[in-house]
Structure 1
Amino acid sequence: MVTDLQGEDDYSEEDDSEVSHFELRVDKGQEMVRIDRFLTDKTANFSRSKVQQAIENDVVRVNGLAVKSNYKVKPGDLITYWLAKTPRPTDVVPEPIPLDIIYEDDHLLVVNKPAGMVVHPAHGNWTGTLVNGLAYYFNQLPELPGNSGRPGLVHRIDKDTSGLLVVAKSEKAMTHLAEQFFVHSIERTYLALAWGEPVEDQGTVDVPIGRSAKDRKVMDAFPEGTYGKRAVTHWQVLKRLRYVSLLSCRLETGRTHQIRIHMKYAGHPLFNDAAYGGDKIRKGTQFSKYKTFVQNCFKILPRQALHAKSLGFVHPISGKKMYFETPLPQDMEDVIHKWEEYVNQMP
């Protein structure tokens, strides 16, 4: 039986993958047939050419080893494979949107996304997205095989989260990068300003996350484990500022809103996170001066205080270890500085 695991790991703070992962065990009574024909018959909505392309890209494994299209499956074989989804039929309008590209080669690029920019077109945001800008940028470049002039998103981050994203320039690069996200070998570190001061200096939240039963637009933690998907966040306190703390959060998995949900569950919602209660005073005094100070901070940082600071992966073609960092955006820097000044002035 084929198990479509698409969505089990969404490769980011958002829950959507551009690549589907499958795993199946060949039945005992299965006759020996070519693997490209076998997988085409077993996998709905994917053509034989798509399967053959995946085999050529070395992302079809039989008992852990890459095979060729003429390999004949045998009873008991364990087959794992990744297939890139066909792009949605909605046309993306290329737009000359400035992009902060911090690295690029023939196979991929790494972009520093500003807060407020939606990653890809969707209901309510059909223009002005990162993908609209990438489509324009790619149209100015020579077309690569398997790319068709469109960028390959491997993962996403929330609209109001700033920071690093890797974009594939070919289907082969996209599939290999997606595989790394799936097996959790990608290194991703976020910086977050959260309410309160954790008792410990570091810790791990290992609590499943799923859609909220009360509001399908947001997520929720399910510590009882009866619903949702496993989610693991490792956090460390970088700076204690009495009523807020600067945290480093390392993602082991990548569920929708994972850091935002896990820190709320831990009792430390992110500063000014309207969806999860961080846009209210959660720690501190009741003095009007303090309330005014917090409201001013909210104005400087009109979003959740979350930044995708670092990204590490193995280059899908060269096999070289790649690692990138980007500094905090100015709005988070300014608010942290204001908190430092406020705390230093306290008796």
Structure 2
Amino acid sequence: MFEITLLGVVIISTIYLFGKGVWLVGKGIFNKGNEEQISRGMKFLLGFFLFSAIASYFTSNGVPNVPIFISLLKLALILVLIIVLHELGHMIAGNFFKIHTDEFCIGIGPILYKKSYKNTNYILRALPIKGHVKQDVEKVRNLPLVSQIIIYLAGIFINLGCFIIGMAIYLSQQGMSFIAGIIAISAKVPEIFHQAYLVIVNMQVNDIFTPTHNLENTVELAFSLSPLLNDFWFTFASINIILALLNLIPIPILDGGRVVLAVMESLLKLLKVPQKWVNKFFYTILTLGFLMYLTPTVVNNFWSHSIRIGFEPLEYLLWMLLGVSIIMNISIYFENRKGNGRPLQK
């Protein structure tokens, strides 16, 4: 009964996320490019990709039993805790430099909980796979370069400290003293960063774009690691260092990329480049970074799905575009029926 209920919840959630996402994107485009609606729709579609991967894994490998499900709930709670600590780092650093945080959000998808406190909206969403703090971008950009770097790297510093403390506690459980564990793990940190750097610089294109690196395989990996979740401190420390390393990748949407972008922007200002061109450069690079961040996930999952159903990628793309077009036209039709729509201009 548990397995059937869980599979039903995942399937219903998948259908809901897809319908809601396409509906919002369609409304956003119909309303002359309403960016907020399009952005919300894309978040729902990201949740759809994740839940469709979970549903696909369940149908191929069976629904997990109660102990494995509980282990995954533990993983989700640990992940929420780590993301909260990471975003708190950004928030505390911003407050130190008099930059107010307008929004503190954990997760993507539908809102489960929202509370406003001291002019900051605290939001918890359904899927705890990312987080963000919303601060005044222009005020941050007007800070001295060192202050900007501290704000951007504050979350990584928190994750690094949590990794060292978490591993030291884990080692103390194995018989090593806590202080000796702190010293031993701290000494290993430079080597960890060096190995991560080597992995990135030696990465080939086919290591990034491949149908085997899809969300379903990621879900399978999470289930296979469930036995390792029995030790809280080891899991806590491991996820912290992974999150720190990922955020150091120099893609502008990530913390490391924002540091690179801030340095480049400062150099342009030193070269007396007009501010309007600096602004165009900033937002163009930020947009490209967002596309770089999402492209491998979209391409790999699209490629994998087309192989699974026996379509060529181009053929699958055309069918997907047709389906999205139909849903968007249905949404436009009902908007016009309600009298909220506007006639298309020639």
TM-score class, shorter: under 0.3
TM-score between both structures, scaled by the size of structure 1: 0.24
Structure with greater strand percent: 1
Structure with greater helix percent: 2
- The one of the two structures with greater contact order (alpha-carbon pairs below 8 A, sep at least 6) is 2
